[in-house]
Each structure stands twice: as C-alpha cells, then as structure tokens.
C-alpha cells in the first residue's frame, strides 16, 4: 500500500538520511533528499555526484545514508547509476535478484548542468530505468560559490563577482529542465521543498514510471545565497510564488503546471532577502532588475502557452476519439 | 577440435580477446569505440545480440562514462569488463583510480596505441605506461595466444579474495589486435569452470545491508587507506603465480611474472615488452650461433612490478639493453628502463645498462634493429662501457 501524502502517515516512515550529517545548518539539499526518500515506496539505491551533499554525508566510516549509496566522481552520477541499474537488470534476468529496487542519482547544479551534462544526457538517451535529481542551489557551493550555468542572472559569485565594471553574472540560467524534456524521456519535472506534497507526488510518479526520469529541485544554500540560515523553505516558496521557479511537469511531452501562484509576486521579493543580489538594488543597476523580471515573465508566459498547447492537443485527441 | 578439447584457430588478437570474454560471460560490459580496440566490442556485442552470452551491454557516450558505468556495475555486485585504447584510456584516467581505490575487480582489455598529439592510431605503449600507477594490475601479452590466456586469467586474478583489484590486459594495437595468428582456444566449459562463479563482496544491490561506496577521507585516514592499497598490491604476485599454475593445468601453457629466453647462461640481455619479443628472440638465436651469449626477459606482470624477481633474473648479466615502446617526455629514460634499472639498483655487482626507444606510433620493429642492439651489447661486453644511455632506433634523425 502506498503511504498517503499526509504528515501523519509520513511521520511513521523511517527517515533514510540521518541527522548528524555535516551539511550547513539550514541547507536546502538534505531537506530535498529526505523528502525524496520518504516518497519512495520501494528500496532505493542512490548514486551521488561530488558536491556539498556528497562530501558532507559520508565522511570516513560515518555515513548518513541508510540506503545503499555510491559516490564515484563529480561528473558521472548518471553514468554510475546506469552501471548499477544495468547490473540490476542483468542479475534480475539471471534470477539472482528478485527485489523491486529503484535507482536515484543526486547531483548539484554544477555536477548536472555543466560537467555532468554529457553523462546525464547519455544515460537518459540510453533509457535506463532511473530517476536523476538535480538539487539546484545555483552555484558550485562546495568549492566556494563559483558560478555555474544554473546561476541566476545578476548573481554575485566568487567567479563572477559583482564589481564596478561587471555587475555579477551576465548570462541567464541554462534551462536544463526543458533540455531534459527535449530528450523525449517519459517524465520531467520541476519541484520545490516549499511545496512538499507536490514534490513527493512527483517523485512517486517518477518512480512509478518505467525508464529515465529527471527532476530539477530548487535547494536554497544560505552560504551561497547570503541569506538567513532559517530561510530555505521561505526562499524556495518565494521562488515559486514569483514564478522564478515554476512548478511543472512534462509527461511524455505534455506540459502541466502543477502549482499556479494565486498572485504572481514581483521577482524582487525573491531577490531582496539574498545578499548575492544586493548590488542589483543600487540605482545604477535598476535595468538589471528589470531585465531579470522580464526574463522570468517571458518564461512564465511561454510555460502557460506550452501548457495550453498541451491541453489543446489532449482535447483534439479526445475529439478524434469521439468522432 | 584438436587434442584435449582444444581448438586450433587462426584469429586476430581482438577476436581472441572477444572469444575469451564470450567464454567468461560477464554480467555487464560497457563499451565505447576507439581504434584498434573497437573490434573487440563489435564482436562481443554480436555475441550479445545472438544470445550467446547473458551480458547486459551499456553502450555509453564516452570512455569516462564507460569506466563510470563499470564502477557502478561492479559495486552493484557482478562481473564486469570493457576494452579501450589510447585516448579512451586517457579519458578514463580519473575513473581508473576510483575503480582501484574502491577495490572493484573490473577487467579491461587495453589494445595499446600511441597517445595524441599528433594523433596516431597505431601501436605503442604510451597509453598503458601512462596508466601504470593508477592501482590496476597490468598483464602484458606478446601475441594473440597470450592476450587470450591473460584475459581469462585476469578475471581470476582481479576477483581473487585476497586482492579484488581491477586488471588490464595489454596487447599491441594492430600488430596483434589485427593480425591473424595460429592459436589454441580452450573449450567453453573449461574456461567457465576455471573462471568460476563471481563472488560478490558488499554489493550495493543488497538493500537489506546498505553500504556506502566512495566516502570522503580526509587527512585523518587517507594515508592509511593508501597504505592498505599497497598492502593489497603486494599480494598480487603470489596470486598471479597461483592462477598461472592452475591455468597450466587446463592449457599446458606456462606463465610466470615474466618470461625468460636463453637468459640463464647469458652475458648480455634485452628486456622488451609485448610483440617485439618474438623478433628479438629470433635475433638472439642468430647471435647465439655467432657465439654471443645473449638472452631475453619479457615482463608479463608490469603492475605491480616484480622488482626482486626481475633483479634476480638479470643481475648476473654484464650488459642489458631495455627497449621501450613508449617515450617519457621530460628528456627522461623510457618507463620500462626505469623499472629495470630500479630492480637492479640494490645489487653491488650489476650489469651496465642502456635504453633504446623504438616502434613509436606503430613504426615497425625490424630484425635488423634487434641485431643492431645485440651488436652494441656485444661491444659493450668487450669495453665494459656504455656508448649512449638513451637513443632512438628506427628513426630518421
Ligand atoms: C573533475 C572535477 N572538477 C572539479 C572538481 C571540484 N569540485 C568538487 S565539488 C564541486 C562543485 C559542486 O557544485 P555543485 O554540483 O553545484 O554541487 P554543490 O556543491 O553546490 O552541492 C567542484 C567544482 C571535482 N571534484 N572534479
Ligand atoms: S554551502 Fe550551501 S549547499 Fe553546501 S552545505 Fe552549506 S548551505 Fe548546503
């Protein structure tokens, strides 16, 4: 029986990432991992890319993982998980294993959008039955907040520092979620720990879907975002409510927005509490704030159109069926 | 069928390696094409497609992912193999250390090829030499027969309970991988029994007993881990010899840490790896007929290098020439030369030594080059002096 997504029921389940790991207090990543593992009904084997999550959860003989876990290197969580999953298929076919096991790879945005992109793309194309989860904190946090291709426009990082000549990151984020959808895989979604039910529903759906799946989950980092360390959930909620981080899923090419904010808040509400955007609030940088807002608006509008288009296809198919 | 269920065949080195892999029948293989190793996996995937093996293939998008997938599959708990050459091995470099650091008994056929730049697809040893210190066991092979025999033994060695370390089996690109030779195959059942069932240790797929692979180890314990690794490697020699003894029982073919040829009573000697050994043996016979007491040592187990045994085998010589099919940049001696020199260093009385670099990028190693070396060795014997310590042969100066 599937555990209903109620706090009462979930609280009876074992948390599979223990407390006492060494991530910073208030980090969003372990919250995401706990939610993901709580959502899983079957036993899970996880692969983890190098990054904050990995270095802090398995130091020497102290592992925080109550599930089988493998860290290989920075760029190859997907390829490593492919190998594990292939061995599983091999041994299952040979009758040496009869358990139903699920495979999840976790990578930070650096290990996913950038250096691990090839291995991720390869694994998805090959059709391995695994779920890849990017916990996106928008920079290389473990090495000290360097820009990645997921770093938001205008952010101050240690390799694109806001200075008098260059005001932080000049490029917009890479749209990895859509790129993964373009692989034609059966399930792609974006989620946020602020919307835990939505997140866990998506994980359940992903794990129930055979084949390769990808989820991009926002995971605030108070060190890198220069925010309060009790703000992870509040900031990820603002990310959703400002439409900076829309919650949607793409199932077999059909786009559905799973959470539509009642009132779309201005982007500055998400940016303001974060020190990495402080410089944008000087009068000389107003145009950058406008550009960031315009980008978010354009993305949201496009997403709405994509959803409408998906829906229209759906109804056309339905009409054809009726006729 | 020949005698004892052995089959005499005419095959290429690649075909022989693919056949060994078919007989071993691994659980998972990862593959990415690179000349001259491509052919092994082409042949092997046709075994997969035709249901001749139970293997699941992972046809990855790069060699980095090939080794990553091998690591995942091996940690998951099954028998794993792959093959590569040159740039492919170079792209795996990071992963080679991770495979050995996690004690994962992956077996890889390395079809030796020159490293870029300039790009060159032909045989030399720069790839294997570049990977010599990454914690993998290395077995080198003179011909298709040895490549086949080594490949079969490699699984037993790598998976041995005392070791559990990855192993690579080297053979020369094109010269062996693509040339047809006469050789003997063992029958399937014999090979299967020899390899035995894969014994899994701490498999990831045992969800009831979760393990964590690949932890962060800081200054507090890193040295202890590395020291332990060296300890494991020190056991490899014995396992290689034990497995060779068992292999002799099924094949009649004898293997050791290295092969010697007319070395016992020799005064001068040549040390050379892989395919060039054959030509060298012929030249040695010729010089023996002329009264020059020459012999040869051909290393088989190159990593871990059996320094004591090699030193013992060579120490009585007056002069030794080491032939290297890989250069070491930085105006250094060739990599094989340095190992041989190190193995002889502890002896007070030891041969004088010189080093020749030959056959880079597939340049032919011709009998007259072997003769040139032997002539120089004979002269050195008379004078007791080395003319030039390192020289290139068969090159337009
Ligand atoms: C090949 C390679 N290059 C660089 C590094 C250094 N490195 C380790 S973790 C890391 C950043 C990880 O960033 P991300 O994937 O975003 O995860 P986070 O630390 O933010 O959780 C880098 C650059 C490495 N380990 N391997
Ligand atoms: S640096 Fe950021 S991502 Fe890393 S553990 Fe700390 S809060 Fe989490």
Express as a percent the part of chain A with pLDDT over 90.
Answer: 94
Cis peptide before A175 (omega within 30 of 0): no
Sort out which chain A residues have CB atoms less than 8 A from B25's CB and list them: none
- The C-alpha of A142 sits at a distance from chain B's nearest C-alpha, in angstroms, of 13
pLDDT at A314 over 80: no
Q: How far apart are CA A137 and CA A157, in angstroms?
A: 12
* Any ligand 2 atom below 6 A from CB of A108: no
Look at the block and give the residue holding tokens 């497609």: B49
Q: Average pLDDT, stretch A240-253?
A: 97
Sort out which chain A residues have CB atoms less than 8 A from B65's CB and list them: 76, 79, 82, 118-119, 122-123
Q: How far apart are CA A31 and CA A43, in angstroms?
A: 19
Radius of gyration of chain A (CA): 20
Q: How far apart are CA A200 and CA A196, in angstroms?
A: 6
Q: How far apart are CA A162 and CA A158, in angstroms?
A: 9
User: Given an 8 Å threshold on Cβ–Cβ distance, is B72 in contact with A68?
Assistant: no
How high is the ipTM of this complex?
0.96
Which residue has a Cα nearest atom 13 of ligand 1? A140
What is residue A320's predicted lDDT score, i.e. its pLDDT?
A: 62
Q: How far apart are CA B66 and CA B84, in angstroms?
A: 10
Q: Which of B59, B77, B210 sits opposite A67 (nearest CB)?
A: B210
User: Given an 8 Å threshold on Cβ–Cβ distance, is A68 in contact with B210?
Assistant: yes
CB atoms within 10 A of CB B383: 10
Q: Is A68 on the interface with B (CB under 8 A)?
A: yes
Q: Is A142 on the interface with B (CB under 8 A)?
A: no
Q: Which of A58, A72, A123 sits opposite B98 (nearest CB)?
A: A72
Q: How far apart are CA B7 and CA B114, in angstroms?
A: 33
CB atoms within 10 A of CB B68: 34
Residue A64, both tokens: 């925080």
Q: How far apart are CA B390 and CA B377, in angstroms?
A: 13
Is residue A2 packed enough to be buried (19+ CB in 10 Å), middle (13-18) or exposed (0-12)? Answer: exposed
Which residue has a Cα nearest atom 3 of ligand 2? A221
Sort out which chain A residues have CB atoms less than 8 A from B223's CB and list them: none
C-alpha closest to that of B389 among B326, B330, B337: B337
Which residue has a Cα nearest atom 6 of ligand 2? A24
Sort out which chain A residues have CB atoms less than 8 A from B206's CB and list them: 68
What is residue B1's predicted lDDT score, i.e. its pLDDT?
A: 42
What is residue B2's predicted lDDT score, i.e. its pLDDT?
A: 43
C-alpha closest to that of B351 among B305, B293, B303, B391: B293
Express as a percent the part of chain A with pLDDT over 70.
Answer: 97
- The C-alpha of B141 sits at a distance from chain A's nearest C-alpha, in angstroms, of 29
Q: How far is the CA of B239 from the centre of ligand 1 (A)?
A: 38
Q: How far is the CA of B289 from the centre of ligand 1 (A)?
A: 64
Say if residues A144 and A221 touch (Cβ distance below 8 Å).
no
Residues 25-44 of A with CB under 8 A from B: 43
Radius of gyration of chain B (CA): 21
Which ligand lies nearest to the CA atom of residue A143 in the structure? 1
Sort out which chain A residues have CB atoms less than 8 A from B30's CB and list them: 83
- Angle formed by the axes of helices B93-101 and B63-76, to 10°? 10
Q: Average pLDDT, stretch A17-46?
A: 97
Q: Which of B54, B60, B221 sits opposite A60 (nearest CB)?
A: B221
C-alpha closest to that of B122 among B109, B113, B132, B110: B113
> What is the average pLDDT value for chain A, to the nearest integer?
96
Residue in B212, B217, B225 to test binding to A, most A beta-carbons within 10 Å? B212
Residue A257, both tokens: 């927005």
- The C-alpha of B52 sits at a distance from chain A's nearest C-alpha, in angstroms, of 14
pLDDT at A322 over 90: no
A66: closest chain B residue by CA: B210
Tell me which H or E stretch contains B238: helix B236-251
pLDDT at A316 over 70: no
Say if residues B45 and B93 touch (Cβ distance below 8 Å).
no
Q: What pTM, to 2 d.p., does this model score?
A: 0.97
pLDDT at A1 over 90: no
Q: Average pLDDT, stretch A189-216?
A: 98
* pLDDT-based confidence at residue A60 (cuts at 50, 70, 90): confident
Which ligand lies nearest to the CA atom of residue A225 in the structure? 2
> Which tens digits make up the pLDDT trace of A105-155?
999 999 999 999 999 999 999 999 999 999 999 999 999 999 999 999 999
Residue numbers in chain B where pLDDT is lower than 50: 1-3
């Amino acid at each position: 029986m599937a555990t209903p997504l109620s706090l009462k029921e979930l609280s009876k389940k074992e948390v599979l990432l223990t407390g006492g790991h060494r991530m910073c207090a208030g980090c969003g990543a372990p919250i995401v991992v706990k939610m993901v593992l709580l959502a899983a009904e079957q036993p899970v084997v996880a692969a983890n890319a190098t990054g904050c999550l990995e270095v802090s959860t398995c130091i020497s003989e102290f592992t925080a993982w109550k599930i089988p876990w493998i860290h290989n290197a920075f760029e190859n969580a997907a390829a490593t998980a492919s190998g594990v999953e292939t061995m599983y298929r091999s041994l299952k076919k040979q009758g040496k294993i009869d358990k139903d096991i699920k495979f999840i790879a976790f990578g930070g945005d650096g290990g996913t959008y950038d250096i691990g992109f090839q291995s991720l793309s390869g694994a998805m194309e090959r059709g391995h039955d695994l779920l890849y989860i990017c916990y996106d904190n928008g920079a290389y946090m473990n090495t000290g907040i360097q820009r990645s291709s997921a770093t938001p426009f205008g952010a101050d990082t240690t390799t694109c520092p806001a200075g008098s000549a260059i005001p932080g990151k000049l490029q917009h984020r890479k749209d990895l979620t859509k790129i993964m959808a373009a692989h034609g895989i059966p399930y792609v979604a974006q989620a946020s720990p602020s919307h835990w039910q939505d997140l866990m529903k998506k994980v359940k759906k992903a794990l129930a879907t055979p084949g390769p799946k990808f989820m991009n989950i926002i995971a605030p980092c108070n060190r890198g975002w220069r925010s309060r360390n009790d703000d992870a959930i509040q900031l990820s909620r603002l990310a959703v409510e400002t439409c900076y981080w829309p919650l949607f899923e793409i199932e077999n090419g059909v786009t559905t927005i799973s959470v539509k904010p009642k009132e779309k808040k201005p982007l500055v509400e998400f940016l303001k509490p974060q020190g990495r955007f402080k410089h944008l609030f000087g009068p000389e940088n107003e145009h950058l704030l406008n550009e960031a807002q315009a980008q978010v608006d354009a993305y949201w509008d496009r997403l709405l159109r994509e959803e409408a288009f998906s829906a229209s296809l759906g109804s056309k198919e339905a009409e054809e069926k009726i006729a | 069928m020949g005698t004892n269920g052995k089959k005499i065949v005419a095959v290429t080195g690649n075909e022989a390696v693919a056949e060994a892999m078919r007989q071993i029948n691994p659980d998972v293989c990862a593959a990415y094409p690179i000349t001259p190793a491509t052919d092994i996996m082409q042949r092997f995937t046709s075994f997969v497609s035709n249901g001749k093996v139970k293997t699941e293939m992972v046809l990855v998008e790069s060699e980095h992912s090939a080794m990553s997938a091998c690591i995942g599959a091996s940690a998951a708990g099954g028998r794993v193999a792959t093959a590569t050459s040159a740039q492919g091995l170079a792209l795996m470099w990071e992963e080679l250390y991770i495979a050995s650091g996690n004690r994962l008994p992956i077996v890889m056929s390395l079809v030796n090829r020159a490293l870029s730049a300039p790009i060159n697809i032909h045989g030399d040893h720069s790839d294997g030499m570049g990977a010599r210190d990454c914690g993998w066991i290395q077995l080198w092979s003179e011909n298709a027969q040895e490549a086949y025999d080594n490949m079969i033994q490699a699984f037993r060695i790598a998976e041995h309970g005392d070791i559990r370390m990855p192993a690579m089996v080297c053979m020369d690109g094109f010269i062996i991988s693509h040339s047809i030779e006469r050789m003997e195959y063992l029958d399937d059942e014999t090979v299967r029994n020899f390899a035995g069932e894969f014994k899994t240790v701490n498999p990831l797929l045992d969800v009831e007993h979760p393990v964590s692979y690949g932890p962060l180890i800081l200054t507090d314990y890193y040295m202890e881990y590395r020291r332990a690794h060296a300890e494991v490697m020190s056991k490899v020699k014995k396992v290689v010899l034990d497995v060779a003894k068992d292999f002799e029982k099924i094949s009649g073919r004898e293997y050791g840490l290295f092969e010697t040829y007319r070395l016992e009573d020799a005064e001068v000697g040549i040390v050379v790896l892989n395919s060039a050994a054959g030509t060298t043996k012929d030249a040695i016979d010729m010089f023996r007929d002329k009264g020059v007491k020459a012999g040869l040592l051909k290393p088989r187990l190159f990593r871990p290098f059996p320094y004591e045994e090699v030193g013992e085998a060579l120490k009585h010589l007056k002069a030794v020439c080491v032939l290297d099919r890989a250069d070491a940049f930085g105006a250094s001696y060739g990599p094989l030369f340095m190992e041989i020199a190190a193995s002889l260093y502890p002896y007070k009385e030891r041969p004088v030594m010189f080093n020749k670099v030959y056959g880079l990028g597939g340049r032919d190693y011709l009998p007259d080059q072997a003769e040139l070396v032997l002539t120089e060795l004979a002269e050195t014997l008379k004078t007791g002096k080395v003319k030039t310590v390192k020289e290139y042969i068969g090159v337009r100066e």
